[in-house]
A and B are shown apart, each in its own frame.
Chain A
Amino acid sequence: MMSTLSQHVYEIAALVIIGLLILVFIASFFTSGAIGMARQATETGRSQLSTMMEAGKKNVVNLFLAEIMVMLLFFAGIVFLVPGIKNMDFSQPSENATAGVLLLTGFLLLLIYLLILSVVLAAVRYALVIESLGPVDGILAGIEFFKKNMFDVILLLLVTFAVAFVSAIINQVMGLIRL
C-alpha cells in the first residue's frame, strides 16, 4: 500500500492543494456574506439572506486572495523549526539532546509567532469586507485597525476564546451524561 501511495505522491499533493484552495474559496464566500449580513443588521436592525449573496459575490475573490496571503504568512513560521530539524539525526533520535532542545525552542517560537499573527490579523476579514478593499489593502487596514485598537482587539479575542472554552466544557459535560 505504501508503495502505491509513494507512486502517486505528486497526484495526492496536487489534490490536497487544489482541495484546500476550493475549501478556502467556499469559506471566503460565506465569511464575506456573513460579515455583509452582520453589517446590514448593525446598520438597519434587520438582515436579509440576499445580502449574503451580494456581499459574498462582491468580496469573495479579494477575501480568498487575502486568506492565501495570510496562510503564507502563517506557513513562514515553519522557518523556526528548520535549525532543529537540520541538526537532528533521525537514525539515532536518542542521541540528539541539542537538536531536541533546538526543535522544542522552535516549536515554542512557532506557537508564539502564530499567536501574535492571529491577533494582529484578527480584523483583516472585517476590514476587507466592510471597506470593500483589495487583498493587500485589506491586510494593511486590518493591521492598522489592530494598531489603533490593540487593547480592545486582544480583549475581544480573549472574550471569544472564553466563550468557546465554556461552550467546549458544556459540550464535554453534556457528552458525559448518558440518556
Chain B
Amino acid sequence: MAEDIGKILSNGIDTYSKNFNLCVPFILNIIFLVLTALIITIIGFFSILGSFSFKEYNDPEASPWR
C-alpha cells in the first residue's frame, strides 16, 4: 500500500477546504448538461410537431394526435 487510505481522505478534505473553486467544474457541468438536455428536448419536440401539415392543423379529424 503506497499511502494509507485515512491519509488520502484527510489530505483530500484538507485540499478541498483550501480550494473551494474545485467545485466549479462540477457546478458548470450540471448547468451545461441541463441546458443542453433542455435544448435537445425542445428541438426534438418541435421537429416532431413541425412534421404536422397545415391540413392536419385546420382539420382536427385528420390529426394523428387525436
- Docked pose: A111 CA to B8 CA in angstroms: 29
Q: Is the interface of B mostly helix, strand, loop or mixed?
A: helix
| A34 in contact with B64 (CB, 8 Å) | no
In the assembled complex, the CB of B44 is this many whole angstroms from the nearest CB of chain A, namely 5
- Docked pose: A46 CA to B65 CA in angstroms: 58
As a 0/1 sequence over residues 140 to 179 of chain A, the CB contacts with chain B under 8 angstroms (1 = contact) are 0000000001011001100100000000000000000000
Known contacts A4-B64, A49-B21, A156 near B8 by CB under 8 Å: yes
| B40 in contact with A33 (CB, 8 Å) | no
| B29 in contact with A26 (CB, 8 Å) | yes
Q: Is the interface of A mostly helix, strand, loop or mixed?
A: helix
| B19 in contact with A47 (CB, 8 Å) | yes
Known contacts A22-B36, A34-B25, A1 near B65 by CB under 8 Å: yes
Which B residues form the contact surface with A (CB < 8 A)? 1-2, 5, 8-9, 11, 15-16, 18-19, 21-22, 24-26, 28-29, 32-33, 36-37, 40, 43-44, 47-48, 51, 64-65
| A19 in contact with B22 (CB, 8 Å) | no
Known contacts A15-B44, A156-B8, A52 near B25 by CB under 8 Å: yes
- Docked pose: A45 CA to B44 CA in angstroms: 45
Q: Which residues of B contact A152 (CB under 8 A)?
A: 1-2, 5
Between-chain CB contacts (< 8 Å), 26 pairs: A3-B64, A4-B48, A5-B48, A7-B51, A8-B47, A8-B51, A15-B43, A15-B47, A18-B40, A19-B40, A19-B44, A22-B40, A23-B36, A26-B33, A27-B33, A30-B26, A30-B28, A30-B29, A34-B22, A34-B26, A38-B22, A42-B11, A42-B15, A47-B21, A156-B8, A159-B9
Q: Which residues of B contact A1 (CB under 8 A)?
A: 64-65
- Docked pose: A49 CA to B37 CA in angstroms: 25
- Docked pose: A169 CA to B24 CA in angstroms: 25
Instruction: Output the nearest chain B residue to A148 by Cβ-Cβ distance.
Output: B2
- Docked pose: A7 CA to B24 CA in angstroms: 42
Cβ of A115 under 8 Å from chain B: no
- Docked pose: A7 CA to B51 CA in angstroms: 10
- Docked pose: A103 CA to B49 CA in angstroms: 38
